Structure 1
Amino acid sequence: MEQDDLGATAPTGTAIDYETVNVGALVVGAGAAGARAAIEMVQSGVDPEDVLVIGKRSHGDAHTTWARGGINGALGTHDPEDDWTIHAADTLKEGHFLNDPEKVETVTRQMPDRLRELDDWGMEYSRTEDGEIDQRYFGAQSFRRTAFAGDHTGESMLRTLIERAQSLSIPYRENVFVTKLLADDDDRLLGAAGYDMDTGEFVLFDADVVVLAAGGYTSLFQRHSSRDDENTGDGPALAYLTGASLQDMEFVQFHPTGMVGDRYGEEWDGRLVTEAVRGEGGRLYNTEGERFMERYSPDQMELDARDVVARAIDEEIEAGRGTDAGGVYLDISHRDRDFIQERLPRMYERFADLGVDMAKEPVEVAPTAHYGMGGVVVDSEGETGIDGLYAIGETMVGVHGANRLGGNSLAETVAFGQVTGEAVAERLLAGTTPARDKGVLHDRARQHFATLRTLTGRDGEYDPETLLDELRGLLWEAAGIRRTDDEIEAGLTRLGELQRKASNVALGQRTGRAFEFALNLGFGLVVAESILRGARERTESRGAHYRTDYPERDDAWRRNIDMHEDSVGAMRLTTEPVGTPSDAVQAALDADYELDYHQLE
């Protein structure tokens, strides 16, 4: 018998219909990381028909499009003294030295070539007067290193990648929900199971390799910059439940400037006001008209690290110097209207549609959950501890440490997309993948599908969407910007109650939203436990993890926290030492480069 996370039990051997798709490499997630990995596989010689990219939404409708401000790479367009070692040093400092130095260097070494590659493929970068790829300041960066396309960089980049993938005839499939990864008893991946969200039909992917590029987990918080049905922890949970390890899940970045206020409406609450607004000179004010970052960070001001600026805003609000809606003001009206429209076109249009003229008045902002630095543990090529299972993008861990450097998320997607895509291609073309037991694959798939069929149409006492909202409130209160042991313990108690309720939810049909929300809830509960348990374990403050009962950074805690499922299904935590950077990067760290914010004044 198999017991699933939502309380249903299915008998072994139940007859059930399902589609089988045979493929060499299955890429789960159709954002930038997944697209770039698939492109590399085909460019390296894999037959396009042996690669399949799938997503939960329409093709091109991925979270990548919401990354607006830019993508990092040491091109030196304006600051020729910049190079990849300084980029790596900035990344390590921003990550409070919990990053994996090897992965940081993999990204920063690659990024100049990756930016030029995107240019060759037709990405519509903003340009200097000389026609070079323009670069702007971003928080905590020593030089102007963030390439951009106005304030719609992610959208433009994903469009470029999709067009490149289509030119290579890479197949994709829309509206497929992967519900389980299937592995054998020797931790060898066999494939993936899921269902077609349009028809409700079950689908088994018989795959030599699966690449998880399914995003992160920040929409599990009450205020977040994602849409409610994405970034709910699918990737980390799927990997963890298959036997892979998670790491540093307690580190959740709260972006300083999310939209807040009744005038914007509930639809826009928490949505990102890109860091590019501050990178182009935007200033933060409290309701007393004070430019308060002068007190918190007089040297770097609004462009200090995201965790510093987010906590400063939070403290201003708590001290009673925030707006009625619980925010502060972000003002770029001292810039010319033409400048704002050219450099921040999407932001200008969005607020104009909401009745706010950015060229004349400030916008109201507050911190919002934006990025999970934690994720699945992978090696230098992106492979997990499960043979044949890879994870990239926000699903993986290692690049960002305790706090992500703005502009590095898009960089990581294309850098590790290339690295992992190349590794998978070498594996497939070499023909060295061990034979998989197809009987075991189909037996385990049938049992899982029988469980899903049992759940379909089930009545229950609780609504899954309501429980998801309850989970978001729980994490916001127990694992928010500032945390205490008492709050975390209370959160774990509440989480146990939610887990009980989740076993008695009403699901409806597989083509309905309730079924999808119930699955999201199951994944979210796993991820929430890892966040809370990691936050309780780490008795220090470092980067995005701030404990008011342990407010100082503790050098003894310069360790990563790993989470894995033991033989009885319990979550076990262990710690691992952090690696050391190369001599070249250490030299850049010793040089101690730092942004001089006042160049913007």
Structure 2
Amino acid sequence: MTQVERHTYDVVVIGAGGAGLRAAIEARQRGLRTAVVCKSLFGKAHTVMAEGGVAASMGNVNSNDNWQVHFRDTMRGGKFLNNWRMAELHAKEAPDRVWELETYGALFDRTADGRISQRNFGGHEYPRLAHVGDRTGLELIRTLQQKIVSLQQEDFKETGDYEAKIKVFAECTITELLKDGDKISGAFGYWRESGRFIAFDAPAVVLATGGIGKSFKVTSNSWEYTGDGHALALRAGATLINMEFIQFHPTGMVWPPSVKGILVTEGVRGDGGVLRNSDGKRFMFDYIPEVFKDKYADNEEEADRWYTDPDGNRRTPDLLPRDEVARAINSEVKAGRGSPHGGVFLDISSRMPAEEIRRRLPSMHHQFKELADVDITAEPMEVGPTCHYVMGGVEVDPDTAAAKVPGLFAAGEVAGGMHGSNRLGGNSLSDLLVFGRRAGLGAAEYVEGLAARPEISQSDIDGAAERAVQPFDPQGGGVEENPYTLHSELQQSMNDLVGIIRKAGEIRQALEKIDEIKGRIPNVAVEGHRQFNPGWHLAIDLYNMILVSECVAKAALLREESRGGHTRDDHPAMSANWRNRLLVCSTDGTDVSVVEQPQPPMREELFQLFEIGELEKYYTEEEVAAHPGRKA
């Protein structure tokens, strides 16, 4: 019988980023015993890398802003493939979540009259991002962490035990979700330091594990982003949606090679920075899509006026939605107008005094000075697209964040639907606050409504333990494989063949490579013991990355159009017929299957928020005609 450390909780939250911490706070405040399990150290979640701000229509800088405008911007950014109910809830509740953070102790930048300051960002009609310089994610995590600590102090006063109702299990990896029949019964994992096994008996699990970026060679994502939550949900019987949509953030560092992909916040452009090619030209004016022609400035003089007078002028194309900017940069580089190291130039030094740059963008100034020996107050940055975010994730109920498996919930980047085919900058932090809270609430209500707790069987624990240690005794019968080699091959294949520009033939090549790697996985071998063994950690992560990469590639092959973060060179146009078709991934434990599913129609009063001309660019004529009374 497997030796395993056992813990009993009501709710287990996997992931300690913004979504996970907000879910844990909500569950704890409902009186449930809650565990937070994080792969890295507490406070080191990838949320700290979010720099620009939290999108919320508070109207502090422009009083014309409201939830309806935010909803419209989100749907436009996602090319109308968003789950409209999630976009509605997000737009309505984001301001409350930001003000709530302030009551927790968050220290936002302020306007001259003392309100929370808000900055411009790509795809947002008005200045909407509440920010803390360019370190907003760090402040968010610091604030939520402190709220967890304050709840623990409350518990100590009441029970004499800091961890009576909420406990953090840091540097702990979950490898499998456990079930009793069709219901979640808990989770199995191991301590990364010692390799000892651990099991959580819990009727509800909230996935808040973030994204999948480490399946790609060039990424802004940290080492934790290996698609764990996506894969855990799939293997437990849940479904994933929109996995073909990968956001390549337009501005990652391109030099030196050791830091290639590290994020350069959109806040640089939000504060006035502009993109230039090797000829010094502001090229984004050449790439304004027809659907945005009436929203964005078409010359430098008009765009520059917008920076100083956001009320009366159209927006600068440097702040088009991220998918549009990334494709434009890619086109400039391919045309031979790129920077010396394969990107383009991002210039803030000619747009703002040096002292103001250091005040508003302290992290960016430090990052480029230390990592690239570039002083952004005096010279431009070299930037290029980097794999940044996956719009796809676990298919959830928009109101409760519940997956199709009873007892399983998901929030943040691991959940699908909210962002459609492309996420607007700043919507990630408000997304994880809004749906982190809803996931914690949904999990609490689920547990409170159970007649009996599901139970973990010893055979399930034994099986999970056996699968976890397989790399120490591979059973494939072939030549032993190095996990680092397989990971490198997977990353290169995904980057080259299922990257920012896709073609059917290349995607098929990627699927062939994924199949080949799947066949070599049983031969993955690691040396040494379970203590302090990064090779073993990567071997386990590989199972997840391969499964999720197969979802991405198969969905990308099926969707024969270009929309948002999915660009098919052989199908360059966006099709209204594909707008209402979602691609849903599931697995039988061996292979991934992808099927089409119709998108639920938008509620009538939300449909009426859009103008006829805009709707006709996304919907069929029949669909538009079926909604009389919409705006002319």
- Same fold at TM > 0.5: yes
For 1:429-508, what aligned pairs fall within 5 Å after superposition? Answer: 430-438=448-456, 441-456=457-472, 461-508=480-527
CA distance in 1, matches of 2:359, 2:184: 48
1:342 alignment partner in structure 2: 359
CA distance in 2, matches of 1:426, 1:452: 32
Tell me if 1:95 matches 2:113: no
Query: In the alignment, is the contact (CA less than 8 A) between 2:349 and 2:379 conserved in 1?
Result: yes
Tell me if 1:287 matches 2:278: yes
* Structure 1 residues 560 and 31, CA gap change in structure 2 (3 angstroms): same
1:178 alignment partner in structure 2: 174
Q: Measure how far apart 1:454 and its partner are.
A: 4.2
2:552 alignment partner in structure 1: 531
CA RMSD of aligned residues (A): 1.6
CA distance in 2, matches of 1:505, 1:515: 10
For 1:249-264, what aligned pairs fall within 5 Å after superposition? Answer: 249-262=243-256
Query: In the alignment, is the contact (CA less than 8 A) between 2:37 and 2:169 conserved in 1?
Result: yes
2:617 alignment partner in structure 1: none
Q: Measure how far apart 1:591 and its partner are.
A: 8.7
1:387 alignment partner in structure 2: 406
> Which SS does the other structure have where 1:472 is aligned?
helix
> Which SS does the other structure have where 1:315 is aligned?
helix
Counterpart of 2:384, as a letter, is: A
Tell me if 1:44 matches 2:30: yes
Q: How many residues align?
A: 567
* Structure 2: 5+ residue stretches without partners: 153-165, 289-295, 298-315, 615-632
* Structure 1 residues 16 and 501, CA gap change in structure 2 (3 angstroms): same
For 1:63-462, what aligned pairs fall within 5 Å after superposition? Answer: 63-169=46-152, 170-185=166-181, 187-227=182-222, 229-262=223-256, 265-266=257-258, 268-297=259-288, 299=297, 300-334=316-350, 335-353=352-370, 354-380=372-398, 381-428=400-447, 430-438=448-456, 441-456=457-472, 461-462=480-481
2:569 alignment partner in structure 1: 548
Residue deviations 1:413-432, cap 9 Å, x none? Answer: 1100111111222233x352
2:303 alignment partner in structure 1: none
Counterpart of 1:230, as a letter, is: E
Residue deviations 1:263-322, cap 9 Å, x none? Answer: xx50x2100000000001111111111111121126341000101100000011111111
Tell me if 1:23 matches 2:17: no
* Structure 1 residues 143 and 523, CA gap change in structure 2 (3 angstroms): same
Q: Measure how far apart 1:219 and its partner are.
A: 2.0
Tell me if 1:573 matches 2:589: no
Residue deviations 1:473-501, cap 9 Å, x none? Answer: 11111111110001101111111111122
CA distance in 2, matches of 1:235, 1:420: 14
Tell me if 1:33 matches 2:54: no
> Which SS does the other structure have where 1:563 is aligned?
strand
CA distance in 2, matches of 1:198, 1:314: 42
The normalised TM-score by structure 2 is 0.87
Query: In the alignment, is the contact (CA less than 8 A) between 1:258 and 1:367 conserved in 2?
Result: yes
Residue deviations 1:363-422, cap 9 Å, x none? Answer: 100100000000011112111111101111111001000000110011111100111111
CA distance in 1, matches of 2:392, 2:136: 24
> Which SS does the other structure have where 2:611 is aligned?
helix
* Structure 1 residues 151 and 526, CA gap change in structure 2 (3 angstroms): same
* Structure 1 residues 484 and 159, CA gap change in structure 2 (3 angstroms): same
1:6 alignment partner in structure 2: none
The normalised TM-score by structure 1 is 0.92
1:5 alignment partner in structure 2: none
Structure having greater relative contact order (Cα 8 Å, sep ≥ 6): 1
CA distance in 2, matches of 1:362, 1:487: 35
Residue deviations 1:308-359, cap 9 Å, x none? Answer: 1000000111111112321110000121112211211110121222421111
* Structure 1 residues 592 and 165, CA gap change in structure 2 (3 angstroms): farther
CA distance in 1, matches of 2:204, 2:406: 9
* Structure 1 residues 487 and 363, CA gap change in structure 2 (3 angstroms): same
CA distance in 2, matches of 1:346, 1:403: 26
> Which SS does the other structure have where 1:365 is aligned?
strand
2:585 alignment partner in structure 1: 563
> Which SS does the other structure have where 2:185 is aligned?
strand
Q: Measure how far apart 1:544 and its partner are.
A: 0.9
